[in-house]
Structure 1
Amino acid sequence: MRSNAGSHEVERFGWIHHSTIQEAACLTFVRGTDIDPVAEAFGAVSDYARELDFDEFCEEAFAHHEQYSMIGIQVFGEWSLVVEDNGWQGTRDEVLRRVSAGTEAVSAFWNVDRLTRFSYAVDGELWTAFEAPLPEYRVGSRPDALEGVRAGMSWSEAERESGTVPLMLALAARITGQTLTPSRFEGDFVTFPVAAWPDDLRDVPDALDRLDGRFPRELIEALRVADDVARRRAAVAVARRAVQSAECLDHPVISAVLASAADGGTMDRAAISEAVREWTWLLHLHRATSKVRNQVRAAEVLRQATHDDPLVAVFTTLSAASHVRGLENGELASVVARALVDRLD
């Protein structure tokens, strides 16, 4: 790795401050030249693929940014370059995990609020990520993975002189061996709207404490002493009540996921996640009725019921169910109480 680079290494990316994407963008470099799996990993809707020049792409992205994100892809040497104008999909774990499967991905993000994020993922795993001004505060499974690459970049000096965006692009160039220049944005990009992947299911510390005040104390104590089988049963019962209330219990994906839970099997998280993703996209694409929006919220309750930790699943299903029209905490408390003693409706 180059370790004696001066400020010129960063300054050569100063053109970004005068470009179309100077204020807010996310650039993701993915090793490989097949753009189809890259687009799929971002959640691209392939039926709406179009070839646009960069200015046309930015205009389209701006016109639709309140509804959905857009990406533009070009092959860049041995890499594929994914551009988002005022987007952030390339910063998300949900995307980086997918797009780096079997390869590697580098992303640089910035916005008008001066927020930044540099990420590096390999083989479906986020190795390291940090805010550009604060590389000492790193997260990921291998937070020090790029420290050897970063060596000698005069990080603080470069930040003062050229700003954090050129700094991130200089680091990306060290990793990829590709120097981003204004000419890279000439020619057509293959562009797609994005049906975003749902957020990963997160751990929730002190889940029971978070229910305090919303549900009876005796119910919280019953959850505290219940085993995982009973807790899972309670989470599924809340999800079942939500989809019943939203009148989508008979949807094939929902009924199949619930059937597997009733049989004691593993619920297909991927199937319900894909369904939530597709239905959310349709909400953006078409003028949906309040009933359809409610059904998407109910499907999200079922997705939350698949959390690996049954206790967290109870908390997140109850939280998500509060957004389903017609469901009240009192009714949900009764559903959980019945499920804990194996009295399912």
Structure 2
Amino acid sequence: MVEISDAVLDELAGPVAAAIPLVIARVPQAPAAELGRLRATADGTWPVRGSGVRHRAAAGFHFGGGPVADDSPVREALASLPSLLVERLLGALELTVPELDLAGVPDLTGFLGEPFTGGFGVAIMDGVSEAISGAAMLDRIRPGAVPLVAALAGRLAAHPRVAPLLAVDPEITDELGVAAAHGAARLALAVSTAAAVLRGVDVQSWAAGPPALLGVAFGTAVLLLHETPMPSGYATAILAKVREEYLLPLRSSGQVAVSGHRFALLEEDGPVPDADFTGNGLVAVVPGGAVIRTGTETGHVRMVMTVLDGPPPDVATGWEEIVEVSWRAATGGASVVGAGAVESQLRRCTPPWPGDYRLRVQARGRDDAEGTEYHELVVWAAPAAPEIVHARADRLGHRLRGEPEPARPEPPEAGYRWLRHSTLSEAATVTVVTGAEVTDVLRAFNADPARPESLLAIGEDMLRNQSIDPWVAVLDLGGAVLAVEYNGWQGSKEPVLTRASAGGRAASMYWNVNALTRLSFAEHGEVLWAEEPFGDLDAPPEIAPALADLDFADHHRRKYMMGALAVERFTGHGFTAADLARIEAADIAFRIVPDLPALHPYHPRPGGQPEAPTGLTEPALRDLAWWAAAQAARYAGLAEDPDITASVAARALTPPAHLRARRSQLGDGEHRWVWFALHRATNPDPLAAATDAIDAARYAAGPHAANLISGVQARITELGTP
């Protein structure tokens, strides 16, 4: 580590100051502005939505008047920049570097360490910018050069010859212009300083050429910009830009970290202040915003932020507490703040103007310690007015207001709340079967009772291979069998329910991460009802008692909990968290070989399906279907396969062929489209058999699909000729 004297700095300042205007003139405005906003982005004062850029601030470097550091935060700062920004700046300035006149620069080589000696190899990854690889190589083979650039640039920024060149012209008042001028000036200082330092460095040309020099300069500029406050006019410029781009209505959603039972809507970031909620039990107005009382003490609550251009047309339903208050914004642009970092979509989300605003706070789930708590804040500009309480129904609000708590019965499905925190919470099918043994249920699911595997191992295999192959775990409940599918749905299918219910009843509830559900009931081999439960259910009398008082139209209640209760009511057997724990502790599951897809009568489908040969007789259509299936096998090289030849000859899938066709649907299955062609040829509807078999054969033929279709046309002509 070496000291750099003020005399050396004075000698260097003149040539660097002379070079800065030339570099500034060559920096495009857009990337210059992106650089110029680095400090504002890090501070959270660059709130324009949709920028999509996040920068990782470099750490561990200080611009002082002391010794030159021997580490390289410059490279870390360079790596924090978006690759497109690096390439844009490299392209803009690469030809400028040789033009810089730095004849008066003092010899700085004495401030560097000893050059690297000996042999070395160079390995550069594809796609890495020349600026990044060049800076890294220079840092390795000429120790001290990169940190020297950063140290000198940091000190030159305050030098009387240089500092005036870095100031933003007060005539520039727009946000883009201020940010660009700020960024371009620091970048020009970094480029000029890097050129001065590396001018006399004796290394290979590719390690001291423009890309390497500019890589060092870009990293140095990042450090300079993170250390330098935004220009004095930037706050005014950014506020004007935000106001210009702010549009109503606005709706944002996310979650907010809660601590001490509260979060807030505030103009200033900082800790959420204490507040008195004894008045309305939900919200308290404070300077610059409002504090909201939550049921959650520590954790997260779900948030919706809605900003309107006028009062809401009506009071929303489905909320337990709704309170409306007035608050005054000093500058505007309040954020939803809590115990953690503010989510970007909830930052500066209220109108960026001062004035009087109305705030309607809506809350649900504050009493449910195991569930999810929801809040919505609705804001619009309006003169100050008295507080209005639109709804006051939860127990917490009554306690805070000093009122007797209301008697609120638990919803009927409350016994299945444990599912929300179980391994089944996101996607599963749970099936309960009566009148059957465990082995009967496994066979109904097309699983082999003689081939158990580790449940944990199967689950890990599914994740590792990103597979959705079906599998099931079962448990004898005593009088019923519980079948659980993690992220599966075979228990919701008609063939499985038909087989499972042969000796009694079967019911299943399926749900997935996309909020799709299916509730199914079967008895004595007949599916009675299987639908997405929603709204008023038109269910047969046999299952009406199972659905009584379950409001599937209430989207705030979890359908899968109500469905689980309906399964329990229909079969007479429920399942518990302890039952699921027993299944997982046993660590036994069974892979499923699924049924083949159901065959349906012909109906035209868009999207390139072959034209239906409607002019053929039924026997001719059958001939065409099996001819297409045989062609699919031929193109796949399976024309001599004994199971296929036997099936074509019999015009039906033989038992071994049927099993192979089912197995073809699995992740490791082979020749799926060949087996689909054979399966579709068995369709009872002759027109569907021919059309769908041809469609599957096209996929089986692969690159020969055009030849297959030509053959189909010739075959149709042949079959249609008297």
> TM-score scaled to structure 1, two decimals?
0.78
SS at match of 1:225: coil
Matched AA of 1:115: L
Could you tell me which of 512, 532, 551 is aligned with 1:155? 551
How is 1:23-34 mapped onto 2 (pairs within 5 angstroms)? 23-34=426-437
Q: CA 1:260–1:59 in 2, change beyond 3 Å: closer, same or farther? A: closer
Task: Give me the whole-angstrom Cα distance separating, in 1, the residues matched to 2:501 and 2:463.
Answer: 27
Q: Which residue of 1 aligns with 2:489?
A: 88
Q: Does 1:313 align with 2:689?
A: yes
Match of 1:338 among 692, 715, 718: 715
Contact 1:150 1:171 in 2 (8 A): yes
- Deviation of 1:275 (Å): 1.9
Is 1:249 the counterpart of 2:639? The answer is yes
Deviating beyond 6 angstroms after TM superposition, the runs of 4 or more aligned structure 1 residues are none
Matches within 5 A, 1:48-63: 48-50=451-453, 62-63=463-464
Matches for 1:113-132 after TM superposition, within 5 Å: 113-132=514-533
Give the drift of 1:339.
5.5
After TM superposition, the structure 1 stretch with the greater mean CA deviation from structure 2, 78-87 or 326-335, is 326-335
Question: Relative contact order (alpha carbons < 8 A, sep ≥ 6): 1 or 2 greater?
Answer: 1
Q: Secondary structure at the match of 1:183?
A: helix
2:581 is matched with which residue?
Answer: 186
Aligned twin of 1:322:
698
For the residues of structure 2 that align with 1:306 and 1:269, how far apart are their CA atoms? 11
CA–CA separation in structure 2 for the residues paired with 1:42 and 1:180: 19
Q: Distance in 2 between matches of 1:118 and 1:7?
A: 22
In the alignment, what sits opposite 2:614? 224
Out of 67, 73, 79, the position equivalent to 2:480 is 79
Distance in structure 2 (CA, Å) of the matches to 1:154 and 1:342:
57
CA distance in 1, matches of 2:423, 2:492: 20
The Cα of 1:162 is off from its aligned counterpart by 4.0
Distance 2:487 2:505 in 1: 23
Does the Cα contact within 8 Å between 1:272 and 1:302 map onto a contact in 2? no
Q: Which residue of 1 aligns with 2:273?
A: none
Superposition RMSD in Å: 3.0
Report the Cα distance in structure 2 between the residues aligned to 1:77 and 1:21, rounded to whole angstroms.
22
More moved, 323-332 vs 170-179: 323-332
- Which residue pairs with 1:290 in the alignment? none
1:167 aligns with 2:167: no
CA distance in 2, matches of 1:173, 1:307: 37
State the distance in 2 between where 1:132 and 1:125 align.
19
Amino acid at match of 2:624: A
- Say which of 480, 485, 500 aligns to 1:99: 500
The one-letter amino acid of 1:155's match is: D
Distance 1:47 1:298, change over 3 A: same
Residue 288 of structure 1 aligns with which residue? none
Normalising by structure 2, we get a TM-score of 0.39
Bigger share in helix: 1
Asked if 2 retains the 8 angstrom alpha-carbon contact of 1:73 and 1:189, the reply is no
Q: Partners in 2 of 1:95 and 1:270 — Cα distance?
A: 18
- Cα distance, 1:16 vs structure 2: 1.2
Cα deviation for residue 278 of structure 1 reads 2.8
Contact 1:272–1:303, Cα closer than 8 Å, also in 2: no
**1:66–1:268 CA distance, 2 compared to 1 (3 A):** closer
Q: How far 1:106 sits from its partner (Å)?
A: 0.5
Report the CA distance shift for 1:137/1:8 in structure 2 as closer, same or farther (over 3 A): closer
Q: Deviations over 1:124-160 (max 9, x none)?
A: 332101223345266xxxx554124323x14258x45
Q: Say which of 661, 684, 688 aligns to 1:276.
A: 661
How many residues align? The count is: 308
User: Percent identity at matched positions?
Assistant: 25
1:129 match: secondary structure:
strand
- The one-character-per-residue Cα deviations of 1:176-216 (angstroms, maximum 9, x if unpaired) are 22232211123226411222222112233237xx598855x
Q: For residues 110 and 154 of structure 1, do their structure 2 counterparts lie closer, same or farther at Cα, with a shift above 3 Å needed?
A: closer
SS at match of 1:12: helix
Does the 8 Å contact 1:91/1:107 carry over to 2? yes
- Counterpart CA distance in 1 for 2:457 and 2:635 is 44
Equivalent position amino acid for 1:28 in 2? T
The alignment partner of 2:699 has SS state of coil
Secondary structure in structure 2 of the residue aligned to 1:328: helix
* SS in structure 2 of the partner of residue 180 of structure 1: coil
Aligned to 1:204, the other structure's residue is in SS state: coil
Deviations 1:234-279 (A, max 9, x none): 1111111111111212222211111123xxxxx2476543221134
Tell me if structure 2 keeps the 8 A contact 1:94–1:200.
no
- Distance in 2 between residues matched to 1:135 and 1:257, nearest whole Å: 47
Change over 3 Å in CA distance of 1:156–1:132 after alignment to 2: closer
Which shifted more, 18-27 or 267-276? 267-276
Cα displacement (A) at 1:47: 5.6
Q: In structure 1, the residue corresponding to 2:602 is in which secondary structure?
A: coil
Aligned residue for 2:444, secondary structure, equals helix
Which of the two has higher C-alpha Rg? 2
